[in-house]
Structure 1
Amino acid sequence: MASDIEIARAAKMRPISEIGEKLGIPQDALENYGSTKAKVRADFIASLDGRPDGKLVLVTAINPTPAGEGKTTTTVGLGDGLNRIGKKAAICLREPSLGPCFGMKGGAAGGGHAQVVPMEDINLHFTGDFHAITSAHNLLSALIDNHIYWGNALGIDQRRITWRRVMDMNDRALRQIVTSLGGVANGFPAEAGFDITVASEIMAILCLSHDLADLQRRLGDIIIGYRRDRTAITARDLEADGAMTVLLKEAMQPNLVQTLENNPAFIHGGPFANIAHGCNSVIATRTALKLADYVVTEAGFGADLGAEKFFDIKCRKAGLQPSAAVIVATVRALKMNGGVAREDLKAENVAALKKGCANLGRHIDNVKQFGVPVVVAINHFTGDTEAEIAAVKEYAATHGVEAVLCTHWADGSAGTEALARKVVQLAESGAAQFAPLYGDDMPLFEKIQTICRRIYRADDAAADKSIRDQLKKWSADGFGHLPICMAKTQYSFSTDPNLRGAPTGHIVPIREVRLSAGAGFIVVICGEIMTMPGLPKIPSANQIRLDERGQIEGLF
């Protein structure tokens, strides 16, 4: 079969104005970026207020493995499947980051016959949103250093600056750096560092803001550091919020593209789920809900990270009410969770599969805790056997849910008709009784413990007295109502990436906590997770090049 990029390149894309027409978006409400992608204008979005919302469906997954799960592919396939059975459906995805694209993971535009296109554009610079976010973030960094250079009227304690720089690339050498070396003209030397752009608080702010006014307010609320008396200094104190908003004005507008089957897809924002909140923008999701009867969105990595943050952060902040959830699993990944080595996955192994299904069961139970009805999507691989597929279906049934075999990678929307009909059944049943895992008034450390105990099934969270004291200080300063954004390995319910399946009895070590006052959550950094990833020994970048016709090779 043709590769993903060959399938994408052969796609018969329609003009983006025709895709907009499917949702009732007039041509003058689109700002075109070429003929196949566009931004939706803010004034048109504002005109949608008062319209009823469609049904919101979350696609999540088991913990990721090297065998692959296909969450984005399933999201696209389900959106196409819903349109195939006569529903007016739209897809909402995150924008891919250049870091994993050139690192180990590759792109994030789906695969096979369930992709969003133009694939190369989406996976690379797209409409420039990430560059705008990077620029706005680093403008604030420059303004901080410049303020100190010119006399430091705000009394910033250079030892207590919490704002780091960002870039959209994996580069371990920049995790911890020293700035302003080279003499008096370059300022005062200080320890600093870089995070990846998708971990930037500005990325989170853009994805959680309702409009430009809300964006500027949140940007102004960013705490960049503290004075010697420990009082906070904000971006508003530096008069940075206005210029940052200007840089983000176009980036705030959602991007409209299409699937291979010419169905509408919004791709906007891109926070990682292992170090950020892992969901596409609120403004894209809310816009889609006003325009479509069904909106299919995804949350990053497994349900322990992406889905938990979707429910506890995005839905809480935006007032969203999800109607159903889909948990994606593959026979291959479940066998890996059952102890099968990657090189042995082609052989049938029902016993290992059944053992690995414990990971799936944990995710099913976790999503049910939020009051959202669940269906399992078995993303089919050609090597899957009938006995293995039957075992997954039987296991799901023991948890009170149906598992549906999906062949969208090979068959497009024809391979997700059954899943689409099941999703409609769940969404129309009225069974959803959504509620976040914890209340706003619960103390911050208890919120962390609640996630660790109820989602990760840990015995407890371990934090030094300094971290607990910091959480108490933030509560006293008026931030105790904020939700928690856990930064943790995506590969396990624990903080040990090698501990697969459904471990219990472990402890979650808290290494650091960060206040994201503009975004409106507390970031809790656990175990060895890094907010600036590194490249693998053989990065994907080594295989990416232009061929003799000027076409991209190696991008997936």
Structure 2
Amino acid sequence: MAFASDIEIARAARKLPIQAIGAKLGIPEAALLPYGHDKAKVGQPFIAGLKDRPDGKLILVTAINPTPAGEGKTTTTVGLGDGLNRIGKRAVVCIREASLGPNFGMKGGAAGGGMAQVVPMEEMNLHFTGDFHAITSAHNLLAAMIDNHIYWGNTLDIDARRVVWRRVMDMNDRALRDVVVNLGGVANGFPRQTGFDITVASEVMAILCLARDLDDLQERLGNIVVAYTRAKTPVTARDIKADGAMTVLLKDAMQPNLVQTLENNPAFVHGGPFANIAHGCNSVIATTTALKLGEYVVTEAGFGADLGAEKFFDIKCRKAGLRPAAAVIVATVRAMKMNGGVAKADLGTENVAAVQAGCPNLGRHITNVKGFGVPVVVAINHFTTDTEAEIQAVKDYVAAQGAEAVLCKHWAQGSAGIEDLARKVVALAESGVADFAPLYPDAMPLLAKIETIAKRIYHAEAVVADKAVVDQLKAWEAAGHGHLPVCIAKTQYSFTTDPTVRGAPTGHSIPVREVRLSAGAGFVVAICGEIMTMPGLPRVPSAEVIRLNADGDVEGLF
């Protein structure tokens, strides 16, 4: 049976004018800043006026570790939002914006799939409302002002060898990971080694996603540590006098984007930090706004629960005072079989034993999420090749873990295929059993925080860090940054730092290669293993097949 592609389904959607979507949430037309007919930003004055309203219930959608078999976390997030609306709840979806780099590389877009998508899909996966371009510009303005300050006399006595602010672009380009700038003679400045990260790894992205309003945004931008003096004292963006201009560039980007699902339900799509190299959640302002407007807010955290959910709980919820009512862990029979040792080419053949062998990966995520005091339900994202015996094997395993697994067919059926999960989520959220708490206290030393995550979430035996890393963490503690949470940058494919190790491994160590202070965002990044903050393109990038057809429509996006 042939199925329409995601982009074909999205193009055929019967969208409502964005003003009608806003009306469903009580947003007046005057508070919407339209970008065409089907997307708009929500104005800050309207958002500020919501502060005294009670909050709805926050539902997190997370997943097992991603595999080439596919899991469908965003699809399930969108489907659940539609499903909750279908059973009579006023629900709002909150997801991240897509990065151009992965769209033209290998990962694809971030709008869901099948009959559970957010539209307009093409615009969302390309330039959308320009937020990422604004973040890139603000970040690189700061970089330019640092080099300009050094060129014009360096009154702050910046040590050019200790400039820690790299440049960014929203594209996968391995050639830019390590570069030398200011070549060409005296007129071009003082040569130094630096590099590029992808925009989603920018601290400016993290700041925009954690800031409460424009004043908070500028305060955080000013706190960014960009370099150190020859006396090894920190230099901030405020010292460079860049925070005001950066805020101006981000003024519009700070406003959340309102769009709709295929079933014309409201969705906020705002911010886009990756979960493997950043904190992996949509913006705080979008989530908190949605909580004031809806009875239920369904949001996602990137990649597996070991990365996305942990950072959602320990960074976003901690910083924004959020208290999730329930969590959904997305899994597929196909992914269980891959974790059980089955090759991708053989996933269409029934193999109950492999499903059972792969389930411990799911079991560990269930245990980890429960450890935050959040009740859990498992969503089995259905594929047509799944057999009844394989589905039952997952359900039986999950039941033995003290949770329930619900079969979901939203990809093919939309909200009608996910009603059971929606009702289970409502039951969990309204049961009052959630007792959320972060994994570690603010007062715990930074290295101990890294070790806590490694041992309790990754089930590692130890953290391995050079003396230089340990000394740097201690220096930041002495400088007053010891209370910050930590953001682990590592592979999304495994509980270890080796992407080829699937399942639920134990006895491994987590090597911390480098640590970076994000004083503006308010966390410390620990870079573990071989993770890259600037991805490269695959041997055959998706860009090779993305084009305009004879009708002027985009082809090849997925």
Range into which the TM-score falls when normalised by the shorter chain? over 0.9
CA shift for structure 1 position 228: 1.1
Deviations 1:369-418 (A, max 9, x none): 00000000000000000000000000000000000000000000000100
Tell me the equivalent position of 2:414.
412
* Aligned mates of 2:546, 2:356 — CA distance in 1: 38
* Aligned mates of 1:27, 1:172 — CA distance in 2: 44
Tell me the equivalent position of 1:494.
496
Letter in 2 for 1:417: E
CA shift for structure 1 position 330: 0.3
Tell me the equivalent position of 1:332.
334
Task: Report the identity percentage.
Answer: 77
* Aligned mates of 2:444, 2:107 — CA distance in 1: 37
CA shift for structure 1 position 288: 0.1
Letter in 2 for 1:173: A
SS for the counterpart of 1:322 is coil
CA shift for structure 1 position 197: 0.1
Letter in 2 for 1:363: H
Letter in 1 for 2:380: I
Tell me the equivalent position of 1:59.
61
* Aligned mates of 2:450, 2:186 — CA distance in 1: 44
* Aligned mates of 1:98, 1:500 — CA distance in 2: 28
* Aligned mates of 2:113, 2:73 — CA distance in 1: 10
Tell me the equivalent position of 2:534.
532
Tell me the equivalent position of 2:480.
478
* Aligned mates of 2:435, 2:488 — CA distance in 1: 24
Which of 87, 90, 93 aligns to 1:91? It is 93
Tell me the equivalent position of 2:315.
313
Tell me the equivalent position of 1:47.
49
* Aligned mates of 1:77, 1:377 — CA distance in 2: 11
Unaligned regions of 5+ residues in structure 1, if any?
none
* Aligned mates of 1:238, 1:172 — CA distance in 2: 29
Matched, 1:146 2:143: no
CA shift for structure 1 position 19: 0.2
SS for the counterpart of 1:146 is helix
Matched, 1:458 2:460: yes
**Mapping of 1:119-268 within 5 angstroms?**
119-268=121-270
Matched, 1:322 2:324: yes
Letter in 2 for 1:410: A
CA shift for structure 1 position 544: 0.4
Letter in 2 for 1:124: L
* Aligned mates of 1:6, 1:480 — CA distance in 2: 50
Letter in 1 for 2:59: V
Which of 276, 290, 293 aligns to 2:292? It is 290
* Aligned mates of 2:554, 2:445 — CA distance in 1: 51
* Aligned mates of 1:463, 1:345 — CA distance in 2: 39
Give runs of ≥4 in structure 1 deviating > 3 Å.
none
**Mapping of 1:361-510 within 5 angstroms?**
361-510=363-512
* Aligned mates of 2:502, 2:84 — CA distance in 1: 33
SS for the counterpart of 2:259 is strand
CA shift for structure 1 position 337: 0.5
Deviations 1:122-154 (A, max 9, x none): 000000000000000000000000000000000
* Aligned mates of 1:366, 1:233 — CA distance in 2: 38
CA shift for structure 1 position 186: 0.7
SS for the counterpart of 2:476 is helix
Deviations 1:438-478 (A, max 9, x none): 00000110000000000000001100111001000000000
SS for the counterpart of 2:118 is strand
SS for the counterpart of 2:197 is strand
Deviations 1:14-60 (A, max 9, x none): 00000000000000000000010000000000000110000000000
Letter in 2 for 1:432: A
SS for the counterpart of 1:225 is strand
Tell me the equivalent position of 1:35.
37
CA shift for structure 1 position 227: 0.5
**Mapping of 1:66-81 within 5 angstroms?**
66-81=68-83
Matched, 1:551 2:553: yes
Deviations 1:511-552 (A, max 9, x none): 000000000000000000000000000001111000111111
* Aligned-residue CA RMSD (Å): 0.3
Tell me the equivalent position of 2:516.
514
Letter in 2 for 1:170: N
Deviations 1:474-512 (A, max 9, x none): 000000000000000000000000000000000000000
Tell me the equivalent position of 2:28.
26
* Aligned mates of 1:61, 1:77 — CA distance in 2: 15
* Aligned mates of 1:352, 1:503 — CA distance in 2: 16
Deviations 1:296-327 (A, max 9, x none): 00000000000000000000000000000000
Tell me the equivalent position of 1:342.
344
CA shift for structure 1 position 248: 0.1
SS for the counterpart of 1:509 is strand
Q: How many residues align?
A: 556
TM-score (norm 2): 0.99
CA shift for structure 1 position 183: 1.1
Letter in 1 for 2:76: T
Letter in 2 for 1:269: G
Letter in 2 for 1:430: G
SS for the counterpart of 2:238 is coil
SS for the counterpart of 1:191 is strand
TM-score (norm 1): 1.00
* Aligned mates of 1:388, 1:264 — CA distance in 2: 35
CA shift for structure 1 position 172: 0.2
* Aligned mates of 2:491, 2:313 — CA distance in 1: 19
* Aligned mates of 1:327, 1:540 — CA distance in 2: 28
Further displaced range: 303-312 or 178-187: 178-187
* Aligned mates of 2:357, 2:206 — CA distance in 1: 37
Unaligned regions of 5+ residues in structure 2, if any?
none
* Aligned mates of 2:330, 2:213 — CA distance in 1: 32
